[in-house]
Amino acid sequence: MQYRTLGRTGVKVSTLCLGAMNFGAIGNTTQDDATAIVDAALDGGINFIDTADMYSQGESEEMVGKAISGRRDDIVLATKVFNPMGDERNHQGSSRRWIVTELENSLRRLDVDHVDLYQIHRWDPTTSDDETLSVLTDLQRAGKIRYFGSSTYPAYRIVQAQWAARENHLSRFTTEQPQYSILQRGIESHVLPVTEEYGMGVLVWSPLAGGFLSGAIRAGQESTTNRAKLMPERFGADTPSGKAKLDAVEKLVTVAEDAGLTLIQLALGFATAHPGVTSAIIGPRTVDHLHSQLAAADTALSSDVLDKIDEIVAPGLDLTPGGNFDTPPSLLDASLRRR
């Protein structure tokens, strides 16, 4: 396993991060399954675990908390807030009111007294940066979070948040968590240049493209991955972008075989090859899935292999346009761009 510094924090994290989205109802994963996955991940050198309050409505955090019991200090622990937790209209977002409440809920579910990295799961257009950064700064000073970051923010919002922190003398986002894979390379043209400029750590999610790059989704077979079920418009194989991905995957399989690699090794090696990427988040549902991904921990792709990937999917290109959840709200809601 390789380790990199998380932005400018001085904290060393593994280049593969264990994502816990599949723990609980979403992945039909039991506590025994989750504990076995965490055990195997730690044995494999992973020291970084990422979850979120909304994963199975808190069940993932509870499972992670039980799985890491007795070894909390050996783990860099991250969770997230923003998405709805129930039907109450104020049980969501990034207001001071909700963040203070929901962090306490997350700490209780995780059974810890602090988290190392607390992330805003999505940009909230209804809440000012000043509001969000001020409460996160207060929670950091109270010792309940060590650092905080953003997730899936458009590049211009990352810049705005950095400016707001400086202007108001607040702590700043030290990390960003965007989607990134061979098939979704849009952040290379806008997000990664910004995060590198500000020295932010970058934790990329879905480096296996929701199953396209794990071998779970191939031409002529049914798509059964969780991301395909939850977000078929972005991760399904039956859309125009899905078919473009399938075509690319068949070419990438040949590149991997010629290099003596599995498709998973090619995909994860690609994600961590970019100098702006700190860690790639993997989300295994079983221990077998985890071991197939741990095999990529030390994969280093040659320039020739990276060039062949560029020929299949050009740098900066998203095969699913708008699939990075960073489209400005006014382009999604006509009422926001019309009088």
What's residue 236's pLDDT?
63
DSSP string, 230-283: H-HHHH-SSSHHHHHHHHHHHHHHHHHHHTT--HHHHHHHHHHHSTT--EEEE-
CATH code of 144's domain: 3.20.20.100
Q: Say what the pLDDT of residue 218 is.
A: 73
Domain that holds residue 200: 3-336
* Crossing angle (nearest 10°) for helices 129-141 and 96-110: 40
pTM, full prediction: 0.92
Residue 329: per-residue pLDDT: 75
Write out the E strands in the chain. Answer: 3-5, 12-14, 16-19, 48-50, 76-81, 115-120, 145-151, 175-177, 201-204, 279-282
Beta carbons within 8 Å of 294's beta carbon, 6+ residues apart? 16, 40, 41, 44, 45, 46
Q: What percent of the chain has pLDDT over 70?
A: 94
Burial pattern 127-139, b for ≥16 Cβ within 10 A else e, equals: bebebbbbbbbbb
| Whether 147 is catalytic | no
Distance CA(260)–CA(266), nearest Å, equals 10
pLDDT of residue 202: 98
* In contact, 187 and 324? CB cutoff 8 Å: yes
Which pLDDT score, from 0 to 100, does residue 334 have?
81
H helices, E strands: number in the chain: 13, 10
The predicted structure's pLDDT at residue 330: 78
- Number of structural domains, the chain? 1
Q: Which of 55, 118, 147, 153 is catalytic?
A: 55
Locate the DSSP E strands across 152-255: 175-177, 201-204
Asked if 55 and 29 touch (Cβ cutoff 8 Å), the reply is: no
Give the residue ranges of the chain where pLDDT is below 50.
none
Residues in the chain: 339
